[in-house]
Amino acid sequence: MPNPIEFYFDFSSPYAYLGSEMIDELAAKYGRKVQWRPIMLGATFQKTGLPLLVTIPLKGEYSKHDIIRSARYYGITFKFPAKFPLSTQTAARAYYWLHGQDCAKARAFSHSVFRAYWVDGRDIADLAVVQKIAAGLGIDKNALAEAVAKPEIKERLKTETDGAIAKGMFGAPYFIVDGEPFWGADRLPQIEHWLKTGGF
């Protein structure tokens, strides 16, 4: 079995959303699985000392334009949400709870959360919104609310975040292929070249 591709992201990252719409298909083309790992991007800001991208003079304005143009370039539906940034810990905790039971359902839930925010502009920081998204996939919304409040789920998200940083993560999306890190949706062509050639 070839190594799975590790995919670290925060639901609040627009470039991670773009990556999330493309990575599974790319991986499947080369017989690879993808391990999805939502983490708390705020923790990386503490390590790098960098401000939130969109708040940086000049670069912030450019990035908002680049994100929208990149979505068009990739053919991915995208709309910048009115509420940005927002907290994604409830959604990320719900992911790990679901992942413990049903990987495929956790993956479907992730796609739904990303699209609810980056297409429909819904407030995914709100537990009620996350519950509604989950209910649409046949997930018990009361069980979800209980799960995301549990100390072991909170701890899991912290552990995953620390683990990503230990592997060098500083921004999203962050992919690791055969131990090789790739940052950004714009590195998918290099990832494809890596998968095709077995490293370059």
Residues at the site binding a second copy, with contacts judged by CB under 8 A? 44, 47-51, 56-59, 61-62, 65-66, 69-70, 72-73, 165, 168-171, 180-181, 183-184, 186-187, 189-190, 193, 200
Beta carbon of residue 139, minimum distance to a second copy (angstroms, whole number): 35
> Three-class SS of residue 16?
helix
Closer by beta carbon to a second copy, 62 or else 80: 62
Give SS3 for 139: coil
Nearest residue (CB) to a second copy, 33 versus 47:
47
Q: Please, what is the minimum distance in Å from the beta carbon of residue 190 to a second copy?
A: 5
Backbone angles phi, psi at 174, to 5 degrees: -125, 115
| Dihedral pair phi/psi, residue 109, rounded to 5° | -60, -45
- Least Å distance between CB 164 and a second copy? 10
- Please say which residue, 44 or 131, places its beta carbon nearer to a second copy: 44
Q: Round to whole Å and give the CA distance between 108 and 137.
A: 8
Residue written as token pair 């994100």: 67
70 or 112: CB nearest a second copy: 70
User: What are the C-alpha distances in Å from 21 to residues 35, 72, 85, 112?
Assistant: 14, 13, 20, 11
Smallest separation (angstroms) from a second copy to the CB of 167: 10
Minimum CB separation of residue 195 from a second copy in Å reads: 13
Residue with tokens 């069980």: 143
CB closer to a second copy out of 64 and 105: 64
The structure tokens listed for 130 are 């996350």
